[in-house]
Amino acid sequence: MLRRIILMGFVTTILNLFGCSGQTKKEEGKLSKEMEEQIASSIEAFNNRPIHKEMTEKIIDSTSDDNLLQVVFDNLSEKLPADYEKEYESVMSLNKSQQAIYMIWALEAEVNNGGYNQFYSNSSGQFYKHLPNALELVGANKFAELTIRANETFEKEYSLITQHQDGTIEGFSKSYDDNPLNKFDDEFSELYKTENLQQIQVDYIRKNKKEFID
């Protein structure tokens, strides 16, 4: 589960890096040969990236903005036990800044991959009540406001949203039909044009380095 979230978060980072966030799925399919080569190179670097079990000020200072979120998230992931039955309590034992980066990464990974519907249905959804505060903490106020509205809709329309989610792929796919959460997915993508969520987190980490140093 964590590996999937890490990979999806990486894809989000790559799309943002190459200016693809906020595009429609049809537009995302139109990549130039040069961009495809750059993405392939980035994937190779990702697979061979160093993962730091201990975070130091030197690591943060020497890491580029493009890579900092990945480096910090990898470090936070190293702090979690292999037993993901304990993911929630483990994440909540981190300090508020670390919690925020972990939760926001999970939110972005899920929403950019399969929308809010996927976010709430997967283990990442267990953090949904905490995410508005996490987003506000780092300064992503527009994303916080959007997630508040998505949360309210999820709670209000829970029976409708989950009625087809019976544990099968078919049931989950059907749950997207007339799902009241769908409208928030487009808003999420559009928000990147006015609020750079990843850069906001990078700036927050740099201004609050002591919160991430072991």
pLDDT in tens, 54-98: 999 999 999 999 999 999 999 999 998 877 788 999 999 999 999
Domains and CATH numbers, the chain: 2-16+27-211 (1.20.1420.60)
Q: How far apart are the first and last CA of the chain?
A: 25
b/e burial code for range 155-178 (CB count within 10 A of at least 16 → b): eeeeeebbebeeeeeeebeebbee
Average pLDDT over residues 130-149: 98
Return the SS3 of 179: coil
What is residue 10's predicted lDDT score, i.e. its pLDDT? 52
Question: Please, are residues 102 and 76 in contact by the beta-carbon 8 Å criterion?
Answer: yes
Per-residue pLDDT tens for 15-46? 555 555 544 444 445 557 777 777 677 677 66
Rounded CA separation 132/142 (Å): 10
pTM beyond 0.95: no
* Mean predicted confidence (pLDDT) in 188-194: 95
Quick check: 107 and 125 in contact, CB under 8 A? no
Pick the residue with more confidence: 155 or 84? 155
